[in-house]
Structure 1
Amino acid sequence: MNLKSVKQQLRSRIMDERKALPAAERSEYSAQVCRLLAENEQLARARAIMAFHPFGAELDIFPFVEEARTRGQEIWLPLTLPSDRRLIPYRYEGKHMLKQGVYGIWEPDPAMAQEADLSKLDAVLVPGVAFDRQGGRMGYGGGYYDRFLATLGSRPFLVGIAFSMQVIDKVPREPHDICLDGLVTESGFFQT
């Protein structure tokens, strides 16, 4: 079986399992992850953090996003450009400046948001489907995050966000895949 098929089967299985998590558990685990993110010293020192708006059955990090904003940190959310297969981060100033993007994900409306200054980026909270404790991450298959991270001049602190059921022994990797520095689940914050 080729790598693409292996990834597709793994992606499908984990997304089905994640979708099957009861809403009460998803909410409880999301609160635990937000608390762990808020307690992390490296994230607390970050001036600018790129986050993401949760979609579907993803873990909800928005309580952390709002807390970081009240602490005076700059929060960015990505706008997805499918035609170019890339992400453009914009400063997040509140839910009023969001619109539903092409995948149904809430994203910044460029007419209401200011494009972020990439030289300020200190940390990126990275969504995904599967993760391992060696920094491996498997996304949704579009390559948006790997492509975005490869364009940065300096490397920010990269943290995967997941439920513990999304953590596997070894994520299938390709040469272009960028490894993460940490992973947070409801079970803890792990350096990779």
Structure 2
Amino acid sequence: MDTDKKELLAEKKALRAKILAVRRELKEPYRQKASQRMIDVFCALPDFKEPKVVMCYASMGDEVQIRPLIQRWLDMGVTVTMPRVISKGQMEAVTLADLDSLVEGEYGILTPDPAKSQVVAPEDLDMIVVPGVAFDTRGERLGMGAGFYDAFMAKAVKAKRIALAYSCQLVANIPMEEHDELVHKIITEQGIYNCLL
């Protein structure tokens, strides 16, 4: 590995640790209120009503809580999918019947019950609600470092990518590698950022 690559990975690691620490410090009432505000803002946008097939994720404890968003889409008859890990750095989109049919998958992440889900091709997705550790207003994203979403988004060619993130997750710029994918829009509790792609 060359020196530049090592430096970039070290930068990413340091930024990831810093933002995760800040996010963990958010108080639960603030997290709940901010999450609800982002969902309310998102649901008022045309973006929310357009997709027929979406990919979401099961929020971890200190992430933006998106279960109410998923429930609204399910109630509207939208096909909701979630990621399922299939190998190192690779995941697939599988359908979610309802929020009660989530089971623990790889890395302790909730995923749709394999007995009640079907695989959806990445190119059939209209939208991906993208998790992340940090973002900048150009749409650059820092994930957890395993590359699952970057590899998947590269195949989901028609999907609009939207991130819901606390304002403390926005930074001036993200150290990017060639394979890192961008998001189209970021919604925080303080505003909406239409990113330049």
**TM-score normalised over the length of structure 1:** 0.94
Which residue in the other structure is 1:63 paired with?
68
Superposed displacement of residue 117, structure 1: 4.0
* Equivalent residue runs for 1:133-172 within 5 Å: 133-152=137-156, 154-172=157-175
SS of alignment partner, residue 42 of structure 1: helix
Residues 151 and 118 from structure 1, CA distance in 2 versus in 1: closer, same or farther, beyond 3 angstroms?
Answer: closer
Which residue in the other structure is 1:2 paired with?
7
Equivalent of 2:38, from 28, 33, 51? Answer: 33
Answering whether residue 63 of structure 2 is matched by residue 53 of structure 1, we say no
Whether contact under 8 Å (2:129, 2:164) holds in the other structure is yes
SS of alignment partner, residue 103 of structure 2: strand
Answering whether residue 104 of structure 2 is matched by residue 104 of structure 1, we say no
Segments of structure 2 that go 5 or more residues without pairing to the other structure are 1-5
Whether contact under 8 Å (2:71, 2:99) holds in the other structure is no
What amino acid is the match of 1:145? Y
Superposed displacement of residue 150, structure 1: 1.4
Question: Matched residues in 2 for 1:119 and 1:176: separation?
Answer: 18
Whether contact under 8 Å (2:58, 2:111) holds in the other structure is yes
Post-superposition CA distance 1:35-81 (Å, at most 9, x none): 12211202311111111110131010110110111122111111123
SS of alignment partner, residue 54 of structure 2: strand
Residues 118 and 2 from structure 1, CA distance in 2 versus in 1: closer, same or farther, beyond 3 angstroms?
Answer: closer
Question: Matched residues in 2 for 1:143 and 1:161: separation?
Answer: 19
**TM-score normalised over the length of structure 2:** 0.91
Higher helix share: 2
What amino acid is the match of 1:126? V
Question: Matched residues in 1 for 2:64 and 2:109: separation?
Answer: 14
Answering whether residue 136 of structure 2 is matched by residue 132 of structure 1, we say yes
Which residue in the other structure is 1:113 paired with?
117
Post-superposition CA distance 1:71-96 (Å, at most 9, x none): 22111111123x33211111111123
Which residue in the other structure is 2:23 paired with?
18
Equivalent of 1:179, from 172, 177, 182? Answer: 182
Answering whether residue 100 of structure 2 is matched by residue 92 of structure 1, we say no
Which residue in the other structure is 1:188 paired with?
191
SS of alignment partner, residue 141 of structure 1: coil
Question: Matched residues in 2 for 1:117 and 1:143: separation?
Answer: 18
Which residue in the other structure is 2:3 paired with?
none
Segments of structure 1 that go 5 or more residues without pairing to the other structure are none
- Runs of 4+ aligned residues of structure 1 deviating over 6 Å after TM superposition are none
| Identical counterparts, % of pairs | 29
